[in-house]
Amino acid sequence: MINEPTRKKLLEKILQSKEFSTSKIYASYLTYLVEAAEKGKKLKEISIAIEFFGKDANFNPAEDTIVRTHTYNLRKKLQNYYYDEGKDDKYRLRIPKGQYEVTFVPALENTYHPKRILRVMIREYKITLIVTLVILLIIAIIYNFNLQHQLSSYRIIDKQDPIWSEYLQSKQPVLIVLGNHFFFDDYSEKFKSNITIRHGRVNSYEDFNALQSQFPENVLKPSDEPYFPYHSIWSLPPVLSILNSVGQKPILRMSSLITPQTLGEYNIIFLGSIKTLYILKHTLSQSHFSFEILPHIITYTNGDSSRTFQTNLHSTGLNEDLVLAVKLPGPADNSIFIIASYHSLGAPEVVNQLTQTNFRKQIEQKFIEKYGYMPHYFEILFRVNGIDKTAYSTEMLIFNEITKD
């Protein structure tokens, strides 16, 4: 066992590391768990949700994974810390899987620690081990050389690209948010079972709660099964392609599970329908755009003047779509890039073009002509025309710089 001053010193070092110093929510969460352990408090998922995350007594772990998600991410952050700044720490913080009790253990108590494995193997095998390691090292060097050569020819985008640079070089995790439609279940007397409903005016938990208050006699429940429209799925491959080409491994999450805390923990890319922005719609207040779901209207307001742009609700032939491409400053020196459209025609087409060199150069040139440079943050409204899900023209209607306050 280690004494209290040593524990405090170790915790303070972790909190001041680059892994935690820029992440207030995880620094606070780790401190909370350590203090609870020192008091001998047995933590449960529900008690953490209420005491730390401010949930009420109706918190349901089956529907809200906030505690498990943050605990998983906290383990990853501790792992990253011990791979880097904390690699020489004599004691390590450990959060066993399935538990929330934090313990300090000697560094070599972890069976899977590389140093422990190496010492055991050397003691048992010595010369055989050394020869094996030399052979493996040579193979690894050759493999790495060939891999780097292949990657250098595969890279399809410059890391300094002004539109995608912070995602291509991100030190924070990159989170791709896929917009998912909101469905809910209701009991049907006709079918004598629950049926799943998609309501055009219910596009968030706030809308759902408002609907439920209008029909208190109905037992409504958000559906457990997510539904992703074409907007999200067809927009994903081009973004994954440019990120993977520079070695970035993004995290994927559906938009209905995004919380306010999430907005400051990642560099975020949203892909999907305007109807599925959910909590991200509030970030658009930094831009000049606002939108309505029914009818499909985007309003551009600049000072005392405003312009409205509208597209049809449904179309079986020629189709016109409006697409928002807005890159905004996040709340914690991060970026939030929203690419969203009303129909499945627009967002995939704009995402695909934004990953093409010629199209990006055209956008950059328009901004340079207007401002003399390519802004870090910007807002663009596109109109995309096509038939069904095949686009044949894309037009920039409005484009502006967004300044960081």
| Angle at CA of residue 240, ends 239 and 244, nearest 5° | 125
Nearest to 353 by CA among 342, 344, 361: 361
Nearest to 16 by CA among 5, 31, 2: 31
Q: What are the domain boundaries of the chain? A: 4-109, 114-154, 182-222, 230-401
Q: In which element (H, E) is residue 37 found? A: helix 24-38
Nearest to 283 by CA among 313, 302, 262: 262
Strand partners, 194: 187
| Alpha-carbon gap, residue 344 to 181, rounded angstroms | 13
| Alpha-carbon gap, residue 401 to 141, rounded angstroms | 46
| Alpha-carbon gap, residue 195 to 41, rounded angstroms | 43
| Alpha-carbon gap, residue 335 to 377, rounded angstroms | 9
283: left (phi over 0), alpha (psi -120 to 50) or beta: alpha
pLDDT at residue 8, as a whole number = 86
Here the contacts of 164-171 (C-beta below 8 Å, separation 24 or greater) are 164/242, 164/354, 166/267, 166/335, 167/243, 167/248, 167/267, 167/269, 167/335, 167/337, 168/242, 168/243, 168/246, 168/248, 169/246, 170/248, 170/267
Q: Which CATH architecture has domain 4-109?
A: Orthogonal Bundle (1.10)
Transcribe 261-274 into DSSP letters.
Answer: GGGGTSEEEEEEEG
Residue with tokens 């207030």: 24
CB 242 within 8 A of CB 49: no
Residue numbers in the chain where pLDDT is lower than 50: 111-112, 120, 153-155
Residue 224 is classified by DSSP as S
- State the burial class of residue 399 (Cβ atoms within 10 Å of its Cβ: 0-12, 13-18, 19+): middle
Residue with tokens 């079918």: 191
Does pTM surpass 0.75?
Answer: no
CB neighbours (10 Å) of residue 174?
Answer: 20
Nearest to 276 by CA among 220, 342, 332, 216: 342
Parallel, antiparallel or unpaired: strands 267-273 and 174-178: parallel
- How crowded is the C-beta side of 310, counted as CA atoms within 13 Å? 5
One-letter amino acid identity for 284? L
Determine the straight-line distance between the first and last CA of the chain, rounded to whole angstroms. Answer: 48
Nearest to 286 by CA among 152, 402, 168: 402
- State the burial class of residue 112 (Cβ atoms within 10 Å of its Cβ: 0-12, 13-18, 19+): exposed
Transcribe 282-328 into DSSP letters.
Answer: GGGGGSSEEEETTTEEEEEEETTEEEEEEE-S--SSEEEEEEEEEEE
Strand partners, 270: 177, 338
CB 396 within 8 A of CB 382: yes
Write the pLDDT tens digit of every residue in 114-167: 555 555 455 555 666 677 888 888 888 888 777 666 555 444 688 899 999 999
